[in-house]
Structure formats: structure tokens, C-alpha cells
A and B are shown apart, each in its own frame.
Chain A
């Protein structure tokens, strides 16, 4: 009766489900007031269809069949509950509400959207639940689209349903006071779904682009359900216009093609037309333009330009000025800089970009050096542009984009002679011992990421170094800042250019960090028999002697004059509690470090003889470990054990 291309019953059930599930789940949710249960009941109906349709044939109106079976199951469920609870109210309500209320169908779907995009849910939960309930996608389909495993999506959906139940989220239209916020949550979810698909790269494109289709469908649905909201039409217009460029924005090998180089003949006129239609609706509604309407207006400007040189950049820059005021995100600011560069010249654009280089949120965002490179190249500053292209290439995660940026870098003049930051940095680290290499390596890696590994050392300035360190650790604890500052100073000394670290000020440690641990607290820690004697002896010794931590850890058993309660050179002096703890700690030992590590070192890390106990083979307790143990015990640092004054 049906050709192979007509698909089996299973394929038909799936197609019907995708078209109808939102309405079915929405209607059931209104009946049972629990979206999780509603979905289960709807799934039961789906299973019935899979069982019955192959033999009995597909019903005339499969959507209506699924709906009525699911509703019957919902009524059965409510009757069972009613019987179990011996309450009369629920059923009375059900019977009247039952199958009759079809005219409210659309409103139910809108309520379902508000529910699945509820702000109490985490973003990933909102995305998964919306695709599940409104798009009719299976957990497996969602998982493939988001490149995660099915169990993860199933868990996100289950968590989201539970959260909705726990929080008592209602299946109702939001009140006037919260409508704007709730609507913007829905719009955000739809746009995230769209971008998730739009950002897909070549290898994944087939799996992921359907998300764009899903988002467009949600957008159309939303526009039909909430026709008086300009931002809804704005979002739809924005998505349609972006979708119109889908085929034109990548080349044959998946490399990205920038907007102004795209073949405009490949922009899909159907999407463009639908985008314009949505935009006109948004404009007709009036009111102040929101972020989506403004972004759509920018997309309209591009779509209206038949050739790149026809683009009305002045209008686009003006729209970005307004958008940046509404959405002060660094990414919008960067796009605004691009528009301003087109409208008012690369120098003005570059000035805006320079201001963004200090923003920590853009630290690893590859488009920042990418845009900067374009502007520098247009200003004829080829060497700087080349380095920025190379840096952008190192930061992007998209292979095709990396190849593209590398090619742009290669098009510009070759690097002048002289060692690069990466080469000299590696040489600098090679000359350090292992702990210093670890500590300073982090600073150097960050400099390489922030400035580009191929930057010649000669081109580096103190301002560059200061910018990278400030963006990365400007708001970190003073100790962290000072550690990275020390690394930078050491590197600057190594390359004999101290001015490279000249703009890095030392930070005073804060008042809190210099406060001593109170004597009572020290006593409590040192007298606690549950704690290891080694730690108690160390803490007590530091407190009673006031000696530097490293000096105390460096002590050997033979340095101590235990009868006199001091070292032989009297540099470290202690009192009775420490004396008692030391006796306990050192029982039977006559040589080696006083404070030993818990375990013997592994074969690859044999310490110097002086730092090893000749009797037990254990090495000296390290400063880092000692600090760690005290931090665990007291949330403080060893230096604060020293009494004040």
C-alpha cells in the first residue's frame, strides 16, 4: 500500500509525534498539573500507537487519535488518584474540563513554553526540556545535537522536571509584573537553541543544523501565540535572516566566509522574506526597540545590501550604539567596533577594540585578536596584524577557522629576525628548577596566549605584559598577583629587559592575611590528640619560636639542643609544649630532617641526601605540603602562627 519512501509505521508515528506532541503534552499538563506526568502519559499514548497502528492501520487523523488516547489515560490516572484519596473534588473538575477545551489549545502550548523555559531551571535543563516537550525530540536526538551522551540529556530532563515540581512552578501564564522577564527567558532559550545549531562546524553540521530548524519552528510558534510582543517577532526576524546566510557562510572545505565576502546570491530569499515579514510586524507594534529587534534591524541592513559596498554602515553603527546601551556585553562591544570601523574608519574602530583588551571576559575569545588583526591590516600595520592573526588562530577551537586565520597571517609579511616570545620563554623555563618551572610556567603560558607566541621579543613592551597580567590576575589575591609579578620580573631579568616588568606594582597583602592566629586557637590545634604529632609539633614550634617557616622546615635533628629547648645556634627557641611534642615526634631518631613527609618519594623523585632521612628513606616535609595541611586544619597560613609584636 505504501512505497518504501513512504516510510514504515514507526517513521510515521515519529513524524506525527513531532508535529503534534507540543499540543498533546500541553493539554495533558493542564489536566494533571504535572509536566513530568503529562509527558509520561503522552509517551504511553505513543507506545499504544506503535503497538496498534501496524495491524489496525494508521487512523485517519493520527494527531487526534494520539490526543484522545493520551487524554483518556490522563482521566484514568486522575480517577485512580481520586479513588486512592477518596477525595471528590479532582474528578469533578476533570470531567468538565476534559476533551472539550480544545479552544484553549494554543494558550496551553504557550503556557508549556513558559514552563519549560522557567527561570528556576538551569540553562541546559531549559534547552533539553524545551526540545523534548515542544519539539518532540527524543533524548537520543537531543544528545546527538548537543554532542553529549543520551544519559546526560535524560538526566537533565529528569532534573528539570523534578525542579519544576519541587519549586511548585505553575502551568499558567505569568502575571503582568513578571511577564517581561519570563518572556525574555523563553526568547533566550529559543535563541540558544538556534545558535547551538548555527555554530555547528562542518563535521558536525549534519547532526546539529536541525537545531536551527527547531528554533525557527519554536520562533514561528511563539510569534503566532504571542503576536503582540515585538521582541518575539524581532527574535524570529533575527533567526530567519541569520538562517538565510547559512549556505553562504562556509566555503567548500568548511572554512568560514566573512559576511562581506559571501556570495549574496546564495542567501536564501525565502528566509530573507520571512525575516523581513517578521521585522515589519515588530515595527508595526511600535514601542522602544529591544535587543532582538535591534539585532534584527542590523541583520536587515545587511540583507538589504545587494553588494557589500552598498551596506549602510552608518545605520548599522548607530544601531550598535543603541544595542550596546541595552546589552553592554563585551561581544556586542566588539561587533560595534567592527561596525564603527566600517562606518567611520579603521582607526576609530581600533580605538574601541583597544579598550576591550583589558576585559577579562574576552581574554581567550579568538574574535578579539581576529578583529584587531583585520583593523591593523587595514591600517597597514602588517607585522602587528600578522601576530594577532596567529594569536587568534591559536585561540580558536574550530579547525577550519584556524586554517583560515593561519592563512591570513601567512599572507602578511614574514616575521622579522629575532627570537620569539615562545622560544625565549621556553629557554627561560628550561633554566629553572622544577618547582620554579611549574610556578612560573603558568605566567609564561598566559603571556604567550595573551600576546601570541610568535611575537618577537623585541616587539614586546612593558604595557603588553602589564595588560595580560592585569586581565588575568588583576582581581586575584595579592599573593597570587605577587607570584605572577615575580615570574614576570624574573623573565624580564633573564632577557635583560627589566622594563618589561616595570609597570607591575607589588600588592600589599591585606589586613586579614597578616592577622595572627590567636593563642587560644593555636593551643586548641596543638593539643588536639586527633591530629598527627608532626603537624602539632610544627605548629607549636612556629608559634613559640616566631621563626620563619622555611627555616623551621630546614631543621635537622642534629641542629636541635633538646635539653636547652633551642637550636645549637640559638636561632630558634621554643618552650615546654613544643619540647613535649618534639620528644614524641623524634622518639628514637638521631639524624635526618626533623619534619618528614608521610611517604617515601617515588623512584623518579629522589631528593638530595640532605633532605632525606637516612634511617627511614623519607624526605623532608615540603613547604607546600606543610602549608596545605595547615590550610586544611585552620583555613589560615603558617606565617600567621607567628605571634604579633
Chain B
């Protein structure tokens, strides 16, 4: 089963030590076949709204900075607990902040 983990602003400064630690973690998870895709997201973004035949496009930001999604990871795990466990390890690295997990249905 797959989970999408999204992450907002984290407290730990993005220095070289963080990159090294995160790099090792990503490498380990990829090698284990757990991590499918991951990346950072630009703040703000673009909103598209459809209403009837009309589609409007608006530039962000749309939420408060502390609510904003700034990173994601798609993981393949064998249980809900395993998804939590992997995310716990991620949270230990990045300091204070929030991550939200959703199970991905399909395809």
C-alpha cells in the first residue's frame, strides 16, 4: 500500500548536516524499495478553480505560511504502522513541525 506524506515548515535549519542526514535516509529508503518519489515544493503555487464552464487561475499564497505544504514523499509500505514508522524517522531528522499522511487509493 502507498502513502503520501506531506510536510510543512520544519524548525531545523537546512544546513549541510541536515542534507547529509536526509540524503542517507533517502538512500536507505530507496534501496529498501520503500521510497517511490520525494521532493520539495515551491511556496505559494497556483490555484485553479472550475465553476460551470469557467476555469479561473489565481496565484498563491492561499494559506498561512505555517499551513503551507513544502515537501512530499510517496512511499510503498506493507502496513499503516510501517508508514507511520518511516514518517517518524523523517520527523526525527527535520525537527519541529507537521507532516500529514494520506493513504493513496488505486491506481
Within 8 Å by CB of B31, from A14, A214, A224, A269, lies: A224
Surface stretch bound by A, among B38-46, B64-72, B76-84: B76-84
Known: A217-B32, A221-B31, A221-B33. A18 touches B82 (CB 8 A): yes
* Secondary structure type dominating chain A contacts: helix
- Per the bound structure, the CA–CA distance linking A49 and B7 in Å amounts to 30
Surface stretch bound by B, among A5-13, A284-292, A361-369, A396-404: A5-13
CB closest residue in chain A, given B33: A220
- B6 to chain A minimum Cβ distance, whole angstroms, is 16
Asked if B36 contacts A270 (CB within 8 A), the reply is yes
Known: A213-B76, A217-B33. A266 touches B82 (CB 8 A): no
Contact mask B6-38 → A, CB, 8 Å, 1/0?
000000000000000000000000011110110
CB closest residue in chain B, given A240: B33
Interface size of B as a range: 20 to 34
A residues less than 8 Å from B79 (CB atoms): 14-15, 18
- Per the bound structure, the CA–CA distance linking A586 and B84 in Å amounts to 85
CB closest residue in chain B, given A8: B81
Known: A60-B92, A221-B31. A247 touches B82 (CB 8 A): no
- B57 to chain A minimum Cβ distance, whole angstroms, is 27
Within 8 Å by CB of A247, from B31, B78, B85, B107, lies: B107
Asked if B32 contacts A221 (CB within 8 A), the reply is yes
Asked if B85 contacts A16 (CB within 8 A), the reply is yes
Asked if B92 contacts A210 (CB within 8 A), the reply is no
Asked if B80 contacts A5 (CB within 8 A), the reply is yes
Asked if B32 contacts A266 (CB within 8 A), the reply is no
Asked if A15 contacts B85 (CB within 8 A), the reply is yes
Known: A219-B33, A220-B33. A11 touches B78 (CB 8 A): no
A residues less than 8 Å from B74 (CB atoms): 270
Contact mask A157-192 → B, CB, 8 Å, 1/0?
000000000000000000000000000000000000
- Per the bound structure, the CA–CA distance linking A97 and B78 in Å amounts to 34
A196 at the interface (CB under 8 A from B): no
Known: A247-B107, A268-B107. A15 touches B84 (CB 8 A): yes
- Per the bound structure, the CA–CA distance linking A153 and B33 in Å amounts to 26
B residues less than 8 Å from A274 (CB atoms): 36
- Per the bound structure, the CA–CA distance linking A247 and B74 in Å amounts to 19
A19 at the interface (CB under 8 A from B): yes
A residues less than 8 Å from B80 (CB atoms): 5, 7
A residues less than 8 Å from B31 (CB atoms): 220-221, 223-224
- B85 to chain A minimum Cβ distance, whole angstroms, is 4
- B107 to chain A minimum Cβ distance, whole angstroms, is 5
- Per the bound structure, the CA–CA distance linking A274 and B82 in Å amounts to 21
- Per the bound structure, the CA–CA distance linking A213 and B79 in Å amounts to 11
- B87 to chain A minimum Cβ distance, whole angstroms, is 11
A61 at the interface (CB under 8 A from B): yes
B residues less than 8 Å from A270 (CB atoms): 2, 36-37, 74, 76
Asked if A6 contacts B78 (CB within 8 A), the reply is no
A residues less than 8 Å from B32 (CB atoms): 19, 217, 220-221, 224
A115 at the interface (CB under 8 A from B): no
A129 at the interface (CB under 8 A from B): no
- The 9 sampled A-B contact pairs (Cβ below 8 Å) are A7-B84, A12-B81, A14-B79, A18-B79, A19-B85, A60-B92, A217-B34, A221-B32, A269-B107
Q: Ordered nearest first, which 3 A-B pairs have the shortest CB separation?
A: A220-B33, A224-B31, A15-B81
